[in-house]
Structure 1
Amino acid sequence: MIKAIFFDIDDTLYSTTAFAEHAREAALESLRAHGVRPSLEALQRELNEVISEFSSNYNNHFDKLLLRLTKHDLPQANPAILIAAAIRAYHDAKQT
């Protein structure tokens, strides 16, 4: 008797790719709202490079993203606050 069936649902039943893109965009918009200067498009390009280098399941995307920006691109704020704001926006987007 079959008791369980396991399968990968990434983009099979629900577009997790589109969902992740939406959540990442919300996170980048939050960074911009907190004073990060590059355009949304520039941040998306850089974040996509981070994701391609470290995988989509990597836990520190936003840390790596901020390290790639120049001092001119960043506000005079604690990077931990910027990262927390990005993570919060990412998770808030998951609930919409």
Structure 2
Amino acid sequence: MIDWLVENQHTPITGFEQLSKGQLVCGTVIRKHPKMGYFVELAGGSALSAPARFVHAERMPASAQELQIGQTVVARVSSIDPERKRFALILDVGF
């Protein structure tokens, strides 16, 4: 994961205003919600977290869809709501 961050010149996210739709981000799975999917806290010390889900689950092996709490993931920002300071993530960026 560290190699990916360095290769992609990933700047740690320190605030909501640094997010943009389509942006790849790195984070840690912090919990699993039965209806909303996983919640991921972004790397960088911002304490920002968002719901994260798989969009193309049918193209993925079931084992790839089971994440563990504490697991590091790369996700794509799928939507941003600046007024409510909310955003959502997509986990299946490689499919």
TM-score for both structures, normalised by structure 2:
0.23
- Which one has a larger percent strand, Structure 1 or Structure 2? 2
User: Relative contact order (C-alpha < 8 Å, sep 6+): which is higher?
Assistant: 1
Instruction: Give TM-score scaled by structure 1 length.
Output: 0.23
Larger radius of gyration: 1
> Would you tell me which structure has more helix in proportion to its own residues?
1
